[in-house]
Structure formats: C-alpha cells, structure tokens
C-alpha cells in the first residue's frame, strides 16, 4: 500500500501594465515580437530596473498567504540555455525569496486543512516557443513578464486536495487583484511534483514533476494517472526515475520530457545589475491595509452577520464584485435573505444573458433595493417583481415608476379583497360546500378564482387568510 505525496509549484502572472524589468507592455495577444526592447531582448549593455508595482503585488500575495516578507531581497540569475530565454539566464530569486513560510487552507473530503507554503518569489517569464517543421519559432513578447512562483511543502495527498488548493489560491490571487487566474492563457500555471511512499513511512520517494497542465480537469487527470503509473511500477518491483513528465492531452497520459540530473545545475548567483531591494516595515503595513478581506473570511462573515445559508454565502463571495454589490444592497435595506435570493437568481441570470459583469450592471443597488422594498411591504408580489425585473434591468426607470405605470400594485386593501372573496363564494357554492364539509384543499381553487378576478393583483397570502375567516364555521 502506498501513500501519495504531492507538492505544488504555481507560476502566476502578475497583472502589471509593463514588464518586470523594462517598460514593454504585458498585454496578451499582440503581434509577435512587437513588445520587446533592448532589456528584454538581452541586448548588450541594457540594464534592468525593477517594476515597483510587481514588488507590491508580490508582497500583497505574501501577506494574503500568511507569509513573512523578507526585508532584504536580492535578485539572482538562474542560468540555462533555451531559445525563449534571450539573456541565457532568467532573473529570479534564490536563497532569499520575497515571501516565506505561509499557509493556505484547502477543503477536501468534507474537511479543511492547511497547506504550508514554503516560499513565493519574484521572477521574469520566458518567451514562447512554437514548434514548426522547419525549426522552432520564438516570440519574445512574454519574455520579462513578472511572475510570482508559489511553492508549497509536500502536504497534499490526492488530486482532490491539489485541485482544492489550486482553486483557493486562484480565488485569493484574483480577489486581491494580482492575477487574472486564466489557466488556458497561461496566467496561472501549475506544476505538481508527486511521489509515492509505503504507508507509514516518513521518507519521501523519488519525485516526478508534472507539466503542461492548463486546466483544473487536467490537474486532476494528470495526478490520477501518475498515481496509477507509479503504483504499478513500484508494485512490480521497479524504480521511479526523477524526471519531468508532460501531460499528453490526446493520449490522456504522462510522458517523460527529460531527465533531471544535468538540467538542474543552474549555477545561481546574485545579479550584479540589480541593487538589493529593501522592504521597510512601513511599506509592508501600507500594503497590508490595501488587502481586502479574503473570500474565506468574507464567507464566514456573511454567515455570521447576515445569517445566510452556507450556499448563499459561497455564491455571493465567489466574486468580490458580487459580494460588494450584495453588501451595498444590505446597507440600504436590511433584508439579506430576500436580497440574496434575488441576486442569485434573477440578477445573475439577467447579467449572464446580457453578457455583462456585476461591475457593469445597469441596475444599481439602489434600484434593485427599490424593487425588493415593494415586495417587502406587499405593494407587489415576488412573482410580479420577477416579471418586471428584465424591464428594470433594460431601462432606467425605478421599480415604483414601473409598478405605477403598469398598474401592478398588489391589491391588499381588506375591504376590496373581501368584496372579491364574497363574489367568488357566491359564484362557486358547490366548492364552498365541499370546503365546509371538511375538504380543505378546495381552498386552493377558491384562492385561484379570486386571483384570476383580480387580474393577478390580489395579495395571495391575504386572500387565503381572508377566505379562511370568511368560511369559518
């Protein structure tokens, strides 16, 4: 019997405007080799200068992941040759990463656990290789884009745990606005390293690094495949080689990329072109203040402060914009559950259909709350509110205006309702007799008739209650 041990390296692209060490733009999708300069092309004599915003994003990432931020930082050169690396080295950090010793919580098998984060460091991305028949082609637009590499301790034991960790990490990075979290475009890349050991053993087995994984599904598939493969090799008395394996999407299997022994001799040394980066305590505290509440904390607060069900809190805190919108509504109108229900159904549906985001919603919290207040004070039914919401969404009228114009005001006046009820009683003596004879379900029919007579405007709860009093023996 074997136990699986998994650690994870995640590379997240920091959402800066310009590159890590030069002013070239970082945006995705420009024509090949139109976002380069002497610095990121590695031309002789060009000197790198650190992007302050990238440093701030790295610090905020570290704080969000409960890390210690290193006061003195040094950039190092990681030396290797590859066509997408024009300088012959990657500027990275080695023995003094900017952030160390943090943790992040994951949820798996119905419980939560902390995964220790060993380090998070700043580095620059490489360019992109395209393999063609005539040779390999290189686009250096991405070369020099700032990355933060986040490395865990080998604390995970299943694909489920890794996927959960990765989702939490992605949530955090997106929430604090340092990464767009797009795995398909490569803004978030994950490289699990995986080994097996006999159950009960403390020693780590030989690990295999997995690459080419650009979706949550592939993370799960690749890890599950690799667990099976290694279990088979070890069960048959074989040995695992330390190597990097690529996930082959077509064949649904991992295949060896290269052997590691030689490749890992990077000869790191401090980059003499870059002066030390000293991070003062005040700077850290300034940045700590800019970190918004993290999704998990906000989720807990929504349960506690608004008495929402776990499901609601989860949906509402899944994006910062939606959570902000909800809280703006609650501030105006203290009916959290009514608001939550409406946001999760009608509101999100209309946004989705219009291809819009919460940020660009044409309905402000004020107008939405205006509608729900009409429901709350029985001016209109919830059903009517749902019916007119698309119009509220598409136009700029207030809910009260729409209700007035369309004559949708709910009939709640007791005198008017009683007149309606008496008319129904007179018209359906047979059903009334049945009700009086003990067949209570007939009341549904009678209420239905009264609703019909009112053109759907009568308040159904009130009609129901009034029927019961009227027909009481």
Report the interface residues with Zn ion, using CB under 5 A.
22, 24, 37, 39-40
Q: Which of 129, 345, 357, 360 binds other proteins (CB under 8 A)?
A: 129
**Residues 134-173: x where in contact with other proteins by CB under 8 A, - otherwise, as a string:** xxxxxxx---------------------------------
Note whether 25 binds other proteins by CB under 8 A.
Answer: yes
Q: Which of 12, 22, 287, 384 binds other proteins (CB under 8 A)?
A: 22
Cβ atoms of 103 and 44 closer than 8 Å: no
Task: Using CB under 8 A, count the residues that bind other proteins.
Answer: 57
Neighbour-count burial for 321-345, b at 16+ CB within 10 Å, e otherwise: ebbbbbbebbebbebbebbbbbbbe
In angstroms, what CA-CA distances link 320 with 234, 314, 335, 454?
46, 11, 20, 43
Residues 319-358, interacting with other proteins (CB under 8 A): none
Residue 75 or 342: the one with the smaller Cβ distance to other proteins is 75
What's the min distance (Å) between Cβ of 211 and other proteins? 8
Rounded CA separation 350/363 (Å): 10
The C-alpha angle 222, 227, 229, rounded to 5 degrees, equals: 90
What's the min distance (Å) between Cβ of 459 and other proteins? 57
What's the min distance (Å) between Cβ of 34 and other proteins? 5
Note whether 41 binds other proteins by CB under 8 A.
Answer: yes
Rounded CA separation 337/342 (Å): 8
Residue 269 or 311: the one with the smaller Cβ distance to other proteins is 269
Note whether 37 binds other proteins by CB under 8 A.
Answer: yes
Q: Which of 1, 111, 131, 199 binds other proteins (CB under 8 A)?
A: 131
| Per-residue tokens: 343 | 């946001």
Cβ atoms of 176 and 169 closer than 8 Å: no
Q: Which of 258, 288, 352, 468 binds other proteins (CB under 8 A)?
A: 258
Rounded CA separation 288/144 (Å): 27
Dihedral of the alpha carbons of 448, 452, 456, 457, in degrees to the nearest 10: -100
Rounded CA separation 49/145 (Å): 13
What's the min distance (Å) between Cβ of 83 and other proteins? 4
What's the min distance (Å) between Cβ of 97 and other proteins? 16
Rounded CA separation 382/337 (Å): 13
430 alpha carbon, distance to own chain's centre? 59
Residue 40 or 330: the one with the smaller Cβ distance to Zn ion is 40
Residue 188 or 403: the one with the smaller Cβ distance to other proteins is 188
**Residues 419-448: x where in contact with other proteins by CB under 8 A, - otherwise, as a string:** ------------------------------
315 closest CA partner among 290, 278, 289, 341: 341
- For residue 24, the 8-state DSSP code is -
Name the residues that contact other proteins, by CB under 8 A: 16-18, 22-25, 31-38, 41, 43, 49-55, 74, 79, 81-83, 126, 129-132, 134-140, 211-212, 246, 257-258, 265, 267, 270-278
């Amino acid at each position: 019997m074997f136990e699986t041990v998994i650690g994870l390296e995640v590379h997240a692209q920091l959402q800066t405007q310009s590159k890590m060490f030069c002013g070239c733009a970082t945006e995705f999708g420009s024509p090949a080799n139109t976002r380069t300069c002497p610095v990121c092309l590695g031309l002789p004599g060009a000197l790198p200068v650190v992007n302050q915003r990238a440093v701030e994003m790295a610090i905020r990432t570290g704080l969000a992941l409960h890390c210690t931020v290193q006061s003195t930082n040094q950039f190092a050169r990681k030396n290797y040759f590859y066509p997408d690396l024009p300088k012959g080295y990657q500027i990275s950090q080695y023995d003094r990463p900017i952030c160390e010793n943090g943790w992040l919580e994951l949820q798996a098998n119905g419980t939560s656990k902390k995964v220790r984060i060993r380090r998070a460091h700043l580095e620059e991305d490489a360019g992109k290789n395209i393999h063609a028949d005539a040779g390999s082609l290189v686009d250096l637009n991405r070369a020099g884009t700032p990355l933060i590499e986040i490395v865990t301790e080998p604390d995970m034991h299943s694909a489920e745990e890794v996927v959960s960790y990765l989702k939490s990490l992605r949530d955090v990075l997106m929430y604090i606005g340092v990464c767009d979290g797009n795995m398909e475009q490569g803004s978030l890349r994950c490289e699990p390293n995986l080994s097996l050991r006999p159950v009960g053993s403390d020693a780590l087995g030989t690990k295999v690094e997995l690459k080419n994984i650009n979706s949550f599904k592939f993370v799960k598939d690749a890890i599950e495949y690799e667990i099976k493969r290694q279990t088979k090799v070890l069960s048959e008395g074989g040995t695992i080689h330390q190597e990097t394996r690529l996930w082959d999407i077509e064949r649904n299997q991992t295949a060896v990329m290269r052997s590691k022994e030689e490749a890992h001799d990077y000869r790191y040394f401090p980059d003499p072109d870059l002066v030390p980066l000293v991070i003062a305590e005040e700077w850290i505290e300034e940045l700590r203040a800019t970190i918004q509440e993290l999704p998990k904390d906000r989720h807990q607060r929504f349960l506690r402060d608004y008495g929402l069900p776990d499901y609601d809190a989860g949906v509402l805190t899944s994006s910062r914009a939606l959570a902000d919108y909800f809280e703006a509504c609650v501030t105006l109108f203290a009916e959290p559950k009514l608001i939550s229900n409406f946001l999760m159904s009608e509101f999100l549906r209309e946004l989705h259909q219009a291809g819009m985001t919460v940020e660009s919603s044409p309905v402000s919290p004020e107008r939405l709350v205006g509608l729900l207040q009409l429901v709350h004070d029985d001016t209109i039914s919830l059903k009517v509110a749902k019916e007119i919401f698309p119009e509220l969404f598409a136009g700029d009228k207030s809910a009260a205006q729409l209700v007035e114009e369309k004559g949708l005001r709910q009939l709640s006046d007791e005198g008017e309702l009683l007149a309606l009820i008496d008319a129904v009683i007179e018209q359906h003596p047979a059903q009334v007799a049945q009700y009086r004879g003990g067949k209570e379900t007939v009341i549904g029919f009678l209420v239905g008739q009264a609703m019909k007579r009112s053109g759907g405007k009568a308040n159904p709860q009130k009609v129901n209650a009034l029927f019961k009093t009227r027909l009481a023996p």
